[in-house]
Amino acid sequence: KQQVVILVDEYDKPIIDHLNDLEKADKNRAILHDFYQVMKAADEHLHFIFLTGVSKFSKVSIFSGLNNLRDITLDARFATICGYTQAELESYFDPHIEQMSQKEELTKQQTIEKIKYWYDGYSWDGVNFVYNSFSTLLLFDIQEFKDHWFSTGSPTFIVNILKEHNDVQSLMVPFQMEATDFDSFDIQTINPRILMFQTGYLTVKKKEQDPFGVTMLYTLGVPNEEVNQALTRHLLANYAEISLPEVNEGCRQMMRQLVSGDSQQFERSLQAMFARIPYQLWGNDEKYYHSMLLLWLNALGFKPDAEMCTDKGRIDAVWTWQERVVIAEVKYAASDGDKDVASDGGKDTADNAATIAQLLDTALAQIREVRYYERYAGENKRIALLGVAFVGKEIACRMEELSNN
């Protein structure tokens, strides 16, 4: 006659699996609600109930039948229970790290840093960070750095929601949310950023009190390279409606073109990729195209810093690859054909070409005038200036190498 413990794993799966069919998801929510009502009736026989899942649904919608339910997701006391800490990784997997360092022809410390870059970074308090245990184990078993976690299942529903809300900026730049934002999850009004945090695509980078001492502020961002690579490439494949292998091949080509400074080939590759995106999804402001370019750069494996501030202005994007620094400025203008439905097609093409040339001149002149590149002078790196222009659905770019760094 001892009390029992009830463990429920993935309690929300019947809902998460049907976010594209809200009627069915809501029916499953009602079934779960009745299920937990039964638990309440058996309260005298229960020591405690422990639930784990992807998303946090409001207590009223599912758990009104349970008493004293306490969410421990962001509780600092439990910050390290869902992954390997740095000390645990280096202590328990030392032989595997040694083996990886030999295979990768790196020092042991370099190997640790590479493992950290790919699979560490998850945090629920902004202080303690842990490794994805599943991916880390597969890394040591297969001996290959790649997106092991995503190979077990495509993040289709996340990608579809991001696409629906046209929110790629959350993948590029860390952002802040208040503690109260995490309190509930409504399937009728999905906040893609909350969903991305709850499903592991974003994590807590920093936790701090707001200036008025009223609430806690959480800075969220992508945890590691595994998530960055897999999610951005899946998103690009979905946006452009092409297969993932095609995206991967396109990324390899564009990386070679950027590294070699071949702006003409890069321009053609960029045009080909953007041409695959349905016209309904095209944006009509510079912010959209800036975000899409950053998304491509992330998928290529670069780590661009967006809107980096200098004492003279802001750089749209800058990234370093081996011996090269690339400083990019993005410019956008609406197509003349978009402004005037009855306009002549040939004239529109000529006008667009002139506008593109002007935008490229403006972008490169802006970089030079405010001397964005000065902060990288003396680093013994080749500095390239990249202007990217979007006019309606037409794309062009121009890259110039600085003769004197």
Q: What is residue 195's predicted lDDT score, i.e. its pLDDT? A: 79
Class of residue 387 by CB neighbours under 10 A (exposed 0-12, middle 13-18, buried 19+): buried
pLDDT greater than 80 at residue 310:
no
CA separation (Å) from 21 to 26, 164, 235? 9, 14, 20
Token pair listed for 161: 């929601």
Most distant pair of Cα atoms in the chain: their distance: 87
State the DSSP H helix or E strand holding residue 389, giving kind and residue range, or none if neither.
strand 382-391
Q: What is residue 117's predicted lDDT score, i.e. its pLDDT? A: 94
CA separation (Å) from 152 to 14, 134, 155? 18, 11, 10
Q: What is residue 79's predicted lDDT score, i.e. its pLDDT? A: 94
Neighbours of 385 (CB within 10 A): 22
Q: What is residue 170's predicted lDDT score, i.e. its pLDDT? A: 64
Q: What is residue 41's predicted lDDT score, i.e. its pLDDT? A: 82
Q: What is the mean pLDDT of the chain?
A: 80
pLDDT tens digit sequence for 350-402: 677 888 899 999 999 988 888 877 777 766 778 888 888 888 778 888 888 87
The C-alpha atoms of residue 182 and residue 199 are separated, in whole angstroms, by 13
| Banded model confidence at residue 345, pLDDT cuts 50, 70, 90 | very low
Most confident of 41-50, 188-197, 373-382: 41-50
pLDDT tens digit sequence for 111-122: 999 999 999 999
Residue 86 has, within 13 A of its CA and on its CB side, a CA count of 11
Q: What is residue 167's predicted lDDT score, i.e. its pLDDT? A: 66
Strands (E), 277-368: 305-309, 314-321, 324-333
Residue 219 pairs in a beta bridge with: 176, 206
DSSP letter (8 states) at residue 51: E
Domain architecture of the chain: domains with CATH: 4-70 (no CATH), 73-230 (no CATH), 241-401 (3.40.1350)
Average of per-residue pLDDT across 249-271? 80
The C-alpha atoms of residue 301 and residue 320 are separated, in whole angstroms, by 11
pTM of the model: 0.75
Q: What is residue 372's predicted lDDT score, i.e. its pLDDT? A: 75
CB 317 within 8 A of CB 330: yes
The residue with greater pLDDT, 324 or 129, is 129
pLDDT greater than 50 at residue 344:
no
Average of per-residue pLDDT across 258-268? 79
The position carrying tokens 């900026």 is 169
pLDDT greater than 60 at residue 343:
no
| Banded model confidence at residue 62, pLDDT cuts 50, 70, 90 | confident
Residue 221 pairs in a beta bridge with: 203
Residue 319 pairs in a beta bridge with: 326
Q: What is residue 122's predicted lDDT score, i.e. its pLDDT? A: 96
Q: What is residue 341's predicted lDDT score, i.e. its pLDDT? A: 41
Q: What is residue 236's predicted lDDT score, i.e. its pLDDT? A: 76
Token pair listed for 155: 């993040």
The residue with greater pLDDT, 356 or 322, is 356
Q: What is residue 342's predicted lDDT score, i.e. its pLDDT? A: 41
The C-alpha atoms of residue 291 and residue 110 are separated, in whole angstroms, by 32
Q: What is residue 405's predicted lDDT score, i.e. its pLDDT? A: 45
Q: What is residue 187's predicted lDDT score, i.e. its pLDDT? A: 65
The C-alpha atoms of residue 349 and residue 356 are separated, in whole angstroms, by 10
pLDDT greater than 80 at residue 190:
no
CB 286 within 8 A of CB 349: no
The residue with greater pLDDT, 325 or 375, is 325
Average of per-residue pLDDT across 308-332? 76
Token pair listed for 261: 């400074």
Output 227-232 pairs: Cβ under 8 A, ≥24 positions apart.
227/147, 227/149, 227/200, 227/201, 228/171, 228/298, 229/147, 229/299, 229/301, 230/147, 230/149, 230/150, 230/155, 231/150, 231/155, 231/158, 231/159, 231/171, 231/201, 232/171, 232/295, 232/298, 232/299
Q: What is residue 280's predicted lDDT score, i.e. its pLDDT? A: 54
Q: What is residue 377's predicted lDDT score, i.e. its pLDDT? A: 72
pLDDT tens digit sequence for 127-162: 999 999 999 999 999 999 988 877 655 566 677 777
Neighbours of 125 (CB within 10 A): 17
3-class SS of residue 76: helix
3-class SS of residue 29: helix
Please give the span between the terminal C-alpha atoms of the chain, in angstroms, as a whole number: 79
The C-alpha atoms of residue 186 and residue 83 are separated, in whole angstroms, by 28
The residue with greater pLDDT, 205 or 400, is 205
Cα dihedral 31, 32, 35, 37, rounded to 10, equals -100
